[in-house]
Every structure is written in C-alpha cells, then in structure tokens.
Structure 1
Amino acid sequence: MPNYGVIDLGSNTIRLCVYEVKDDSKRSYSRKDFRTLLNNKVMAGLSAHVSNGMFTEGGVAHALDVLAGHAKRLKYFDCKRTDVFATAVLRNSANSAEAVRAIEKGSGFRITLLSAEDEAHLGFVGASCDRPIEKGALIDIGGGSTELTRISRGTDHDNVSLGQGSLSSFAAHVQSILPTQAEAEAIEASLEEKLGALDTTRYRSEVLYGIGGSVRAAAKMHAEAYGQGERPEELAREDIDAIIGACLADPDAFAHTALKAVPDRIHTLVPGCLIIRRLMHDFGANSLCIRKKGVREGYLIERMLIGSAKAGCTRMQPSKEGDDHD
C-alpha cells in the first residue's frame, strides 16, 4: 500500500500528514480508503511575518526551517508522492509569487498556491469523505482566512473566502493574550463588515458543518470545561456563547482551562469562537457539526489520487539542493 505526503503551509501552522492508501487506482475515495500514519504540526505563525502586505525574508527563512524538518520526517515513509500547498498567508501577500519562488528554491519542494475557491472546494471534498453532506453550509476557519461553502444536493456552490481568520483576528485586535469585551466586539464588527459584501442568505442553514483547527479547538475547549473530557461531534450556539462568556467573565480561570485543552491555540481560541458565533448568528444556524477531515484530505483525494490517475502524474519528492523551479 503506497504512502502519500501532504504538507499544508498555512497562516498559523505548517502541518505534515502522511497517508497510507489502500488502493491508489480508484476513481472515488472515502475516509475508509486511507489512514493517517503521521500528523505533525508546527505552530509557525507565518502570518506574523507579513509586514505592509509583504511576506518578509524572515517569514521565508522560518518556512524553510520548518520544511527542512518535515523533509527529514518524510525520509522514514518512502512516499510515492509528496505535495506542498499554501493558502491565505501567501495567497494574500503582495509579493506572493516572489515568496513562493524563494521557498521553492530553498526547500526543493514545488508549492501549489491554492486559490480561495480551491481551498473552499477541497475543504468540502475532505469533509464529505468523512461522511456525505447533502445540504447545508460548510465553514473552515483558518489562521488567516475563513472559507464558506453552500452545499446543495451533495455538491458545493458559492465557494468564497473571507480575509479574516483566528490568528489574523488576534493580531489585528488583541493587545494581550485573551480579548477584552471591546476587542471581542471589534473582531465581530470586522467580520460583519466583510460579510456585508456577501449575499449571506445563500448560506442560511439550521446546521453548519465545520472543519479546521479553530473548530476543533472549540470542541476541545468545550470537552475540557463542560464535557468530562469527551470531545463533542456537535456544538450548539449556546456552547460557543459559553466559551466566549467564560473568557470575558474570568480570564484567569479561562486561561487555566484553555492551557489544558488547547495550549498551542490559547491566543486564537476565542477569536475563532467569535467568528463561529457571528457566522452561526448571520446564517441562522443553531448547531455546528464538526467534521474531522478537511482541506488536506480533499487535496489528497482530488489533486493527488484522482488527479494523478487522470494526468499520469509521477513521483514527487524534494529536489536536489539548489534546483531552481522558476
């Protein structure tokens, strides 16, 4: 059974996943067709390396350092193919093309820069391989952006990206570690302004489906604070309200609990929950159904497995040092 590697170069994390695929010659895949051998996350915080809209040389160096570590880990898995894709942090930078070339040259990896629509669509593909979704709306809250997808008759429509995520919300509005009441209101107001440019009625649904680190962090926090350690598969709007309310009412006690539940996301947990709450409110949703699979699995399925079968793609590994991909 072949192994496939996927590196997700995101605004908050750079994550390497290695998947063992039972049969890579199929035309369709579900979560039963592959299993995760490695899921290694590095909290790189690349969005902090954007200055005046430009991705900095320091950001390139930091990305290269993390990718070098992932390349070493990949040697243990003999992957048939390894891909790297990047999302909002590079997509939205004014010097996106130059930054991508610099990272490619330094790392030896080719980088696929996903468009906003691609990212939202692949999130739907991944979420659907977990369990089919026939109708509703899907949200994916990342570090630097939030993707929205309308789902009808089992297919995705109106894929859009809002230029605000949990980490960018923290960086723009929070002075300390946890937001104050005024800072929380500023985060929601900023998101509301971005939503004002959309026809949000398209995404109205009693149930939202959620993927991504911010959604999982909310579930972990709820489990630690209210669920005796059992992570829920669904959160009600009142559950999100409770997390935000606990932070604003007693930040010290909240921080102690958050350090147990999501120590690496303590600063982005509440900004992510504020985005969730605003979306649930504006879309008329009473519950958020959490899906375990997302963009990485969608990329694996559509771009690597199905895509390689169609295009006859070949093995892809880090190239020799100094190899230029211009």
Structure 2
Amino acid sequence: MNKLIESLIPIPVAAFGAWLGYLTGFPLGDLIGAICAVTALSKLGVRMRMPYPFVATVQLLLGISVGSIVTASMMRELTDFSILVGLLICMTTQIFVGYNWLRRMEKWGHIESLLGSIPGAMAAVMTVSGEQGPASGRIAFVHIVRLLALLAVVTIIAGGHADSVAPALGTLDNWLSVIPPAIAAVLAGYLLERFDVPAPYMLTGLLCTAAVNVGFPEANLHVPDPFAVIALILLGGLIGIRLKDITFKDVVRYIRAGLVVTALTFCTTLLVAFVMSKLTGKPFLTLFMSWVPGGVEVMTAAALLLKLDPAFVMLNHVVRMSIIHVSPVFLPKRLFQEQPAPLPQPQTEP
C-alpha cells in the first residue's frame, strides 16, 4: 500500500472513533473511541502509519494549549516556593516508585519504565517516546489504564460530576491571535530540531504562547477547542497504531502494571500531600487535588465543586504539565537508548 495512503487512513478512522466515543458521554470517551477504532482496523490487517509531521503537529498543539493557560498572575503565585518545592517532591516520588516497580517487577527497559511512570501528560509522553526510540504500546496502555482509574477516583471525590462539555469553536479573534505565536513556535521548533532537541515543537509552542500571555495580557489569547480536537484525533491514531501488536495476554499484564502504578502514584500523593499539609498549613485535600495526576480542566472543575481554591489547584497542574513538556530538553540523549553504546576504550601501544 502506498505510504501516503497508509499515513492518511488513521485520520478519518480516528475521527470517526472519536465521534462515536463522544456520543457515549463518557469522560475521555472521544480519545478512547479514537484509539479503539484505529486499533481495531490495525488488527484486521490494514497497514497504517503516523509520520513525524503528524507527531510534530500534536507536539505543537499540546504546547500551545498548555502555554495558553499560563498567565502573569500565575507567575506571581510561584514566588511562594513552597508550592513548587512540594510539587517537585511529589512528582519525583511518583516517578521513583513507578519506575522501580516497572523496572524491577515488570522487567521493563529503563526508558519504558521512565516514560510509563511519568505522572499524567500521556500525550506529551507518547510524542516523546515516538520520537526517541522504543515506541512500545505498553507505555500507552499503562497511561490509559492510569488515566481512566484516576479519572474514576476524582469523579467519585467530586460527587460524580465529570460531564463532557461540547467544544466551543471560538471567535475569529481567538483564531487570529493564535497564528503569530504558532508561526514563531514552528520556526523556533525547526531550529531546535536541527540540534536534536527532543519534542522541539512542544517546547516552543509552550514558550511562545506563554510569552504572549505573560508579556501581552491585553491580547487575551485563547486557544479554540478545535485545536484540542485535532490533537486528540492525531493522538488517538498514534496510540492505536502502537497497540496493534498487543495480545490478550499482554492486555492482562499491562492492566496489572497500570493499576499497580496508579495505586503507587495515588498513595504517594496522599503521603506527600499529608506531610506538606502539616509543614505549610495548606488544606490536605487541596494539596492532594493539586498534585494527583489529571487533566487541568477536570481537576479545576473538581476543585470548584469541592470549594478547594480552584486557582491554586489549576496553578499546580499547569506547572506540572509545563515541567513535563519542557523536561525532555534537559535529559541526555543517552537516556533514550535502551542499550547505550559503550564508551571507546583507550588504545594501548604495542
């Protein structure tokens, strides 16, 4: 089959699956529907691929979406270093316990264990793993299981309110205001790509959009929801293609791994939130909702329902997402090699 056709097939299939998933009304039903549709077609023997330009588009849209949430008032809130320190301690502990379980008990490779243990931001993790080596479906599967499990827990805590919201098309001004930072992000991302920077468009999209929001607050930058819909469809295709070789036996193992990592993440967050609550005087439940992995919108909505200082909760999740999106730049390239090349041995004279 022609490579162009193989590249185009996942898009309408993922879009159709996302539409069916959205009709179910389940939280994240559109993403799960897109993944299931592409995976099912792959299982039927239809060859599909997701070329790098599509992955770069997901990176760009993710970076722009996260950057558009950053505001000048959020930056001022970060002067309270206890917030950042507590978040970093919690994230580090979450990654540490998840990594060690996947590495030691599930016998995963070190990069798969690292990417599988990162708290939240499945989309960011998948674009990085697709670019930097082991494009294993097990990473996607563990993140999906954890995402659904945590979403269920948060929905229960919030009293069962997790209704899907119809995407807003946005105004013409919203669309026009995104164009300049998007163009700047593409140009800057292309330059970073020349230097082999991981996930370059995700980084530049975040920085360029955040710079506009912080430097020019009167611009009132708001990313229209169709940007997220496009990213979701492409991400569903990307993940679905990676799940095509997973067997039923693999599914059982990966569900177990995902549930264990989720439980470890949940317990770690409870512990760190309890300790930091005693040290800082912040309400325990507010810290827990701020540091447990989850989508910015879902966690902020849950905080509103529970009257838990939604601005503080949103700030922590935006910072967490920003750290995860930016961190690949600071990781050494050798980290993304399952078996790093041995160092050259010094030659001895005869």
TM-score by length of 1: 0.25
Which protein is bigger by CA-based radius of gyration? 2
Q: Which has the higher contact order (CA 8 A, sep 6+)?
A: 2
More strand by share: 1
TM-score by length of 2: 0.24
